[in-house]
Amino acid sequence: MEQQKRYGHFDDNNREYVITDPQTPWPWINYLGNEDFFSLISNTAGGYSFYKDAKFRRITRYRYNNVPMDNGGRYFYIKDGDTVWNPGWKPCKTPLDFYECRHGMSYTRVTGRKNGVEASVLFFVPLKKWAEVQKLTLKNESNEVKNLKLFSFEEWCLWNAATDMENFQRNFSTGEVEIEGSTIYHKTEYRERRNHYAFYHVNTEIQGFDTDRETFVGLYNEFADPQVVMEGRPRNSHAHGWSPIASHYIEVTLKPGESKDFVFLLGYIENEQDKKFSAPQVINKDKAHALIAELDTTAKVDKAFAELCEYWDALLNIYKVRTGNDKLDRMVNIWNQYQCMVTFNFSRSASFFESGVGRGMGFRDSNQDLVGFVHQIPPRARQRIIDIASTQFPDGGCYHQYQPLTKRGNNDIGGGFNDDPCWLIFGTVAYIKETGDFSILDEMVPFDNQPGSEVTLFEHLKISMDHVIKNLGPHMLPLIGRADWNDCLNLNCFSWDPNESFQTTENVSEGTKAESLMIAGLFVVTGKDYVALCNKIEELKNGKIDNFNSSTLKSFNFSAEAERMQKAVDAMIEAVKKHGWDGEWYLRAYDFYGNKIGSNECEEAKIFIESQGWCTMAEIGAEDGMVAKSLDSCKKYLECEHGMVLNNPAFTKYIYEYGEISSYPEGYKENAGIFCHNNPWVIIGECIAGRGNDAWSHYAKILPSYVEEKYQTLHKVEPYVNCQMVAGKDAFKPGEGKNSWLTGTAAWMWYTVSEFILGIKPDYDGIRIDPCLPETAGDYTVNRKFRDAEYEITIHPNGQQKGVKSVTLDGQKIDGTVIPYSAGKHTVEVVM
């Protein structure tokens, strides 16, 4: 077999992915920042930074879909005699003697060597700081004295990333900067309503600077050959309008063997309205000076970096597995958890496929993401749930998205996606099981952020369930609305106008019969969770604790509520069995007219994955063999070499009644792509059914470390994280990945492996042990911190795929499979 080219490899000890060739098949990126200040950084140091919101508070400029790809970023130009090069190879692309990019946990280190000089840059955002540190170390590895000219480069975005890219009649006149010592300040629009500015600083004296892009680059030059750098002579330009940038010029002399550190700092500052200026037209720099003072030496920066590493140690120590299989361990212990935190921070807003201007935080997306990080940062998960619920409407419907800066629902997209409400139960239940914190249900949460409209969070959950019940169609199945989880199944849209959005156009909803089996399954799963939650609260109210403050919850009859919802769940199960079964699999939907979608009777797209996933997870009709048949059909019709496709066969033509799904060419995205997000649903279905071999083989197909080698070139996108979509079997090039990083796949892969395959499930009273494994699995150990306890759990599968025979806690056999929670350290032995 032909040897595949390799662009990098895992370094598990350092928790890094090491890229050894800058010309990866696509930019392979990483994320910096954990709270307010964020950056995207590619393996050649491309990318950009923003504060909280990639649309409204963009700090540096980035041009998507550029030629060449990924041009623009934080660049260091080193001029050594006549040779100009960059540590990350781009933009000059001068051949390097050595190149390496190490993407780690919230940091990236890019190292280049050329003609006896090594330049290594460590990029990270210190915890709790509004700044990106770029620590550049220059080292002379030659035998001669080196006289180097160093130029830094950042290009400012005029804050609103959307208008920055289009409103040039204004933008070219508004840009403003100030220069003070070694700091360049960007203050566009500060004179009027903005109370924030940015700065770019270096902790050494500079011998010159530039702040005007055309002066620095030259109108007929490029980032690859900026005229100032090529000539080795800064112009000390002061930008007025046009495109402000920040470039420092530093002359560096290095003796043989000598090395020097330079700390560059890209910072963001907000001032109080009455303290904006220190003199007319002069920005108040006090806070900038203070921030710089915190990070102006190598020692201070190294300390901040050590703190960041400790932060990640702590996060990744909460769930740790040792199976002896490196490929599995590295995904579970490092990369899958890391990707989950990235989706927590960014939702679907900013990646190299999401421009940061389109979508904020998704209602359904963020609730699903929550299961990926709730064990690591429960207090922030709590806040997230409340933020999400605050965008709900009084009838249980909700805004589909909200902006992270304002936390307000996004009116451009609105609501009407009928799966959305159910996800709130999914997220909240995961939070309570992890933390045991029932008091969240007692939080007063508004509707649509309107002060005065607050009700308890529990009430939000209740109306969420009711929203489904009140919107049933002719088969007593849930009406789909604009779409369910599949944004592209637009059964009430009927659009012939290419300028209409499939998501927000609803031309024909009056009298619709369009129903969703995906929501039906989701309703049964979350409905059972809701019933269990009500029963648990009732138990706690009568027994151990009664910590609800609000009078509505104090007097609420939770057992009656559980009964009411159980009836609705049972009715839904009956409806699915009666109207949702096609003989070999579950139907996908009924269209506007009440015709079947995802049926053997259909010409194309006879079977869809979403309803197989949700209805098998819900175990609907298991006793009649439906679950097993459905899972078998997934293997037979959906599975291919790279995973399971969304539907089969793919649509070959646009179907006006179905909407966007049929707009995609065969094998891509929602039209028969391998939409990785929903593969875990079927895998969990397999686990619940006890079919460990099948679950594992589906799982390994989309586990990045398992396909790393094969995917170095075919897959194209980063081999250390999941992507949203891999081209399906009907595509022109099956196996090609797209839309990496920001996908619900991260959380679902985590949920699947941590709870259903390895079988460590947080529950109200403790940890439930219920693995589902391939028969080849050997013994393994999971170290799990849980509330104030720490468990070391060793599982002996003994060739069994499912079924726990005995659980021994601290040497004592226990009844059942739930390890009762108690603080402190415990050892658990599990025999299957």
Q: Which one, 362 or 421, has the nearer CB to ligand GLC?
A: 362
Binding mask 463-502 for ligand GLC (x = CB under 6 A): ----------------------xxxx--------------
**Residue 411: CB minimum distance to ligand GLC, A:** 15
Stretch that binds ligand GLC, among 158-166, 359-367, 388-396, 463-471 (CB under 6 A): 359-367
Which residue, judged by CB position, is nearest to ligand GLC in the bound state?
Answer: 487
Q: How far is the CB of 578 from ligand GLC (least distance, A)?
A: 27
- Nearest of 540, 532, 658 to residue 592 by alpha carbon: 658
Q: Is 17 helix (H, G, I), strand (E, B) or coil?
A: strand
Nearer to ligand GLC, 176 or 487 (CB): 487
Contacts of 116 (CB under 8 A, 6+ apart): 140, 141, 142, 143, 144, 146
Residue 397 or 762 with smaller CB distance to ligand GLC: 397
For the bound state, the minimum distance from the C-beta of residue 503 to ligand GLC, rounded and expressed in Å, comes to 6
Describe the crossing of helices 420-435 and 457-469 by its angle, rounded to 10 degrees.
140
Tokens 């890391």 correspond to what residue? 338
Query: What span, in angstroms and rounded, lies between the C-alpha atoms of 129 and 637?
Result: 51
Cβ–Cβ under 8 Å, residues 572 and 524? yes
Determine the Cα–Cα distance for residues 514 and 510; give it in Å rounded to an integer: 11
- Choose the catalytic residue: 487, 591, 763, 770: 487
In 3D space, the residue among 685, 557, 553 whose CA is nearest the CA of residue 630 turns out to be 685
Note whether 410 binds ligand GLC by CB under 6 A. no
In the complex, minimum distance from the CB of residue 428 to ligand GLC, in angstroms, rounded to a whole number: 18
Q: How many CA atoms lie within 13 A of 810 on its CB side?
A: 11
Shorter beta-carbon distance to ligand GLC: residue 420 or 529: 420
Residue 802 binds ligand GLC (CB under 6 A): no
Q: Which stretch binds ligand GLC (CB under 6 A): 203-211, 356-364, 784-792, 807-815?
A: 356-364
Shortest approach of ligand GLC to residue 360 CB, angstroms?
11
| Distance (Å, whole) CA 617 – CA 635 | 16
The 702-741 site mask, x for binding ligand GLC (CB under 6 A), equals ----------------------x-----------------
Q: How far apart are CA 63 and CA 48, in angstroms?
A: 10
When the beta carbons of 348 and 467 are compared against ligand GLC, the nearer one is: 348
Q: Are strands 789-796 and 824-831 parallel, antiparallel or unpaired?
A: parallel
- The dihedrals phi and psi of 166, each to the nearest 5 degrees, come to -140, -30
Q: Which stretch binds ligand GLC (CB under 6 A): 357-365, 404-412, 623-631, 823-831?
A: 357-365
The H or E element containing residue 16 is strand 16-19
**Of the residues 52, 103, 109, 348, which one makes contact with ligand GLC according to CB under 6 A:** 348
- How far is it, in rounded angstroms, from Cα 420 to Cα 397? 7
- CB atoms closer than 10 angstroms to residue 632: 15
487 is catalytic: yes
State in angstroms the smallest separation of the CB of 451 from ligand GLC.
29
Instruction: CB nearer to ligand GLC: give 434 or 670.
Output: 670
Taking the complex as a whole, the smallest distance from the CB of residue 762 to ligand GLC amounts, in Å, to 25
Q: Which residues between 168 and 227 bind ligand GLC (CB under 6 A)? A: none
Cα separation, 120 vs 111, in Å, equals 4
For residue 416, the minimal CB distance to ligand GLC (Å) is 13
Give the H/E segment covering residue 686. helix 679-688
- SS3 assignment, position 29: strand
Q: Which residues pair with 455 in a beta bridge?
A: 445
Buried b (16+ CB within 10 A) or exposed e, 338-366: bbbbbbbbbbbbbbbbbbbbebbbbbbbb
Look at the alpha carbons of 565, 369, 484, 601 in this order and tell me if their dihedral is positive or negative: negative
Least distance CB 39 / ligand GLC (angstroms): 22
Cβ proximity of 340 and 380 under 8 Å: no
Number of residues lying near ligand GLC (CB under 6 A)? 15
Nearer residue to ligand GLC within complex by CB, 43 or 662: 662
In angstroms, what is the minimal distance from the CB of 485 to ligand GLC? 4
Segment contacting ligand GLC by CB under 6 A, of 56-64, 119-127, 360-368, 811-819: 360-368
- Report, in Å, the least distance between residue 699 CB and ligand GLC: 20
CA 431 to the chain's CA centroid: 18
* Least CB distance to ligand GLC at residue 642 (A): 18
Query: With respect to ligand GLC, which residue has the nearer C-beta, 364 or 382?
Result: 364
Separation between Cα atoms, residue 705 and residue 686, nearest integer Å: 22
Q: Pattern of binders to ligand GLC over 670-689, x per CB under 6 A?
A: x-------------------
- CB of 485 or CB of 748, closer to ligand GLC: 485
β-partners of residue 262 are 136
Q: For 580, what's the count of Cα atoms within 13 Å in the CB-facing half-sphere?
A: 36
Binding status of residue 503 toward ligand GLC by CB under 6 A: yes
Angle at 329 between CA 327 and CA 335, to 5 degrees: 85
Which one, 392 or 503, has the nearer CB to ligand GLC? 503
Which CB, 100 or 419, lies closer to ligand GLC? 419
Q: Determine the residue type at 287.
A: K
SS3 breakdown of the chain: % helix, strand, coil, rounded to 5? 30, 25, 40
CB 648 within 8 A of CB 637: yes
Q: How far apart are CA 376 and CA 594, in angstroms?
A: 45
What is the closest distance, in whole angstroms, from the C-beta atom of residue 407 to ligand GLC in the complex? 19
Q: Tell me the chain's radius of gyration from C-alpha atoms.
A: 28
CA angle 322, 325, 330 (to 5 degrees): 70
How distant, in Å, are the alpha carbons of 4, 57, 132, 156, 170 from that of 159? 43, 5, 17, 8, 13
Cα distance between residue 609 and residue 639, in whole Å: 10
Q: How far apart are CA 768 and CA 22, in angstroms?
A: 45
User: Per-residue contact track with ligand GLC, 631 to 660, x per CB under 6 A?
Assistant: -----------------------------x
- Which residues make beta-bridge pairs with 766? 763, 820
Pick the binder of ligand GLC from 100, 132, 296, 365 (CB under 6 A).
365
Among 74, 113, 285, 364, binds ligand GLC (CB under 6 A): 364
Closest to ligand GLC by CB, 72 vs 362, is 362
Nearer to ligand GLC, 190 or 675 (CB): 675
**Residue 362 interacts with ligand GLC (CB under 6 A): yes or no:** yes
Q: At 611, list the tokens.
A: 């309803």
Q: Which residues on neighbouring strands pair with residue 114, listed in sequence order?
A: 117
354 binds ligand GLC (CB under 6 A): no
Q: List, in order, residues 6 or more apart from 733 with CB less than 8 Å away.
A: 714, 727
Q: Which residues bind ligand GLC (CB under 6 A)?
A: 348, 359, 362, 364-365, 485-488, 503, 660, 669-670, 724, 743
Active site residues: 487
